[in-house]
Amino acid sequence: MDIVVFGATGMVGSRIAAEAASRGHTVTAVSRSGKAPEGVAGAVTSAVGDATDPAQVAELVKGADVVASALVGPRDGTDPRGPLVQLYKDFLSGVRAGGSPRTVIAGGAGSLLVAPGTRLADLPDFPEMYKPEALAHADLLDSLRADSTLPIWTYISPAPEIGPGERTGGFRLGVGDEILPHAGTISAEDYAVAFVDELESGAHPRQRLSVAQKA
């Protein structure tokens, strides 16, 4: 498959690019800098691209089988909620113009439901430093669901804690908004395995998934 990865130099994006390349896919790794993602071996081409520019996005995704996005909102202390939603509005406009059939999005965990009507981010012990980004991703997911004209998307949330670790190839996959029991953690490497599985299969169009370590 020809896969275009946006946000390919970040912790999650670089591992998605690496996992896809390790499976023999042709990967275009897009970032503002155009730098090659670290730890990637295989058929990877680095490209400069601005995800807020629909014309650039359209050109980059033209001919791709599927698009992966690990884009993030601003992390400069300003409120990321409006900017993240606008970023994806511009980005998906470009994906649509470029004719790409599907986009898989690396999401957040904060909007996963821990009880009916209660999100993880609503809990009193949810870290304040992560709440703005969690709420921004909740708004993004709402905006995806509200617009039936968007290209086909799948939104994949990690466990509450994600970081560099070991690729075991083992994980649990949830479908829907409810958090998986004892979700805990997931390594970025195993998250990337689940993510690339979805890139390959396209099994969950317009759905939200979540990934956690094996129980």
pLDDT tens digits for range 19-44: 999 999 999 999 988 887 777 766 78
| 3-class DSSP state of 196 | helix
Is 0.85 topped by the overall pTM? yes
Phi first, then psi, for residue 198 (nearest 5°) are -70, -35
Please tell me the distance from the alpha carbon of residue 55 to that of residue 98, in angstroms, as a whole number.
8
pLDDT in tens, 135-182: 999 999 999 999 999 999 999 999 999 999 999 999 999 999 999 999
